[in-house]
Chains A and B, each alone.
Chain A
């Protein structure tokens, strides 16, 4: 019998991969904070629930590092100015590098899970 997926990731796991999550979401189309947060929820069935307290500091950190570029635009419904984030060239390269790191890490960890009792 398999256990159901947890409703949300361990907070430390989420924190450790927040940049990768945000860079992944910003692939393709520019998005503002509320859109990013909703897309993270919708695409993962609510598993990634990005709180404002971690979302905006992370976006600003990525902007400062030059991986995303923020620009104020008018929001569609309210007409309020919202800051729309676009992945930069260096952000795209960073995303690819982090994807590779994550896949390598995951593959290597999987090897440990497949170890039988008594070692190799």
Chain B
């Protein structure tokens, strides 16, 4: 192995996927550029390479430093997330509906997501005629009015990780909503701030007006509409690497819209033993918002700021195909823009979850 190859391998040791490929490319660029400089001073290629490697120092210093940037903090035994930030949200609500508080939390493992108060959710289900028995992490939920195919849900299968805050237990909103949907319940979300979760005839008011929490409520409807085999979804995280984009066109006031685009992020699924299963290099980024008459604004990941709206889910998926080679470094640009979808959401969870808004009718502002 050549000295440069050995250096790059050692300097990127411990990193995985995109982080490793990008750092390797970045260090190789540094080496290549410095070697070219030294060769202008009449050093041979071998001499220049040796000098640059001396200048760079020990590769372990790079790998140790990078691990501190790119590794994921450990998750506690109970599955509770390392809580970096939690915002309790409240708002004036109409009387008479069962209310469930939503909070926001960010974790390296789960990203940005909303959580629902377990005890309040339990009370709301019971008020609506259902029943929840057992503790939050091992509860059985019998949904009101659902007889088939799965009249009850067991949270230990699908509600981890949850979190505890101020003595109260919260469950991931997207997992909870997806679980209810998968039970066969007739499920629909309506409204934006303090939206209503309709389970059959039962209505549960979700107490939230923060965009991050509202996005976690509606995101499962987008995933359901994209169909089986979709790339994994992630909500935009308020991490500083986001910009804004605005559209005008025939957008209905107070209707809910989603913008979906793609970013290059390595991901993989694991089984119960932590063994890696399938994976990929593309994650779909969504941002969901309520329109004003004729106008809407979304947050967008800066990595996908060069995007092109497409007119169908099939076209969207086809446009991503050339970029699935994980051995190559991909980046969106004005010449190779990310495909993007603008969707009008119905609040339902199925093939009728959204309609694609035609790019021809929409103008980027």
Contact = CB atoms under 8 A, between A and B. Distances in A.
Interface of A: 32-34, 51-54, 56-58, 60-61, 63-67, 69, 71-72, 75-83, 88, 90
A61 to B, nearest CB: 5
B69 A57 contact: yes
A64 to B, nearest CB: 6
Interface residues of B, number: 35
A48 to B, nearest CB: 15
B58 A33 contact: no
B146 interface: no
Contacts of A88: 240
> Looking at chain B's contact residues, is the secondary structure mostly helix, strand, loop, or mixed?
helix
B352 interface: no
Given A77-B36, A78-B36, A80-B33, 9 more contacts: A32-B33, A53-B65, A56-B27, A56-B66, A57-B66, A78-B32, A80-B28, A83-B26, A88-B240
Contacts of B34: 34
A88 B305 CA distance: 14
Given A64-B239, A78-B33, A72 B66 contact: no
Given A66-B239, A69-B241, A53 B69 contact: no
B35 interface: yes
8 contacts: A52-B57, A52-B62, A57-B69, A66-B239, A72-B26, A77-B36, A80-B33, A83-B25
B23 A82 contact: no
A54 B61 contact: yes
Interface of B: 22-23, 25-37, 40, 56-58, 60-62, 64-66, 68-70, 239-242, 302, 329, 331
A16 B35 CA distance: 31
A67 B240 CA distance: 7
A82 B302 contact: no
A81 B61 CA distance: 22
A76 to B, nearest CB: 8
Contacts of B25: 72, 81, 83
A71 B347 CA distance: 37
A83 B27 CA distance: 9
Contacts of B61: 51-54
B244 to A, nearest CB: 12
Given A66-B241, A77-B37, A53 B28 contact: no
Nearest to A75: B33
Contacts of B65: 53-54, 56-58
B302 A69 contact: yes
Nearest to B26: A83
A79 B239 CA distance: 32
Contacts of A76: 33
Contacts of B40: 77
B26 A57 contact: no
B240 A90 contact: yes
Contact of B29 (A52, A61, A66, A75): A75
A33 B26 contact: yes
A46 to B, nearest CB: 13
A75 B30 CA distance: 9
B29 A80 contact: yes
Contacts of B70: 60
A52 B302 contact: no
Contact of B32 (A52, A58, A80, A83): A80
The 4 closest A-B pairs by CB, nearest first: A66-B240, A53-B61, A57-B65, A80-B32
Contacts of A72: 25-26, 29, 329, 331
A56 B29 contact: no
Contacts of A53: 57-58, 60-62, 64-65
A75 B32 contact: yes
Given A57-B66, A61-B69, A83 B22 contact: yes
A81 to B, nearest CB: 5
A60 B66 contact: yes
B32 A60 contact: no
Contacts of A75: 29, 32-33, 36
A33 B30 contact: yes
Contacts of B33: 32, 34, 75-78, 80, 82
Contacts of B29: 32-33, 72, 75, 78, 80-83
Contacts of B68: 57, 61
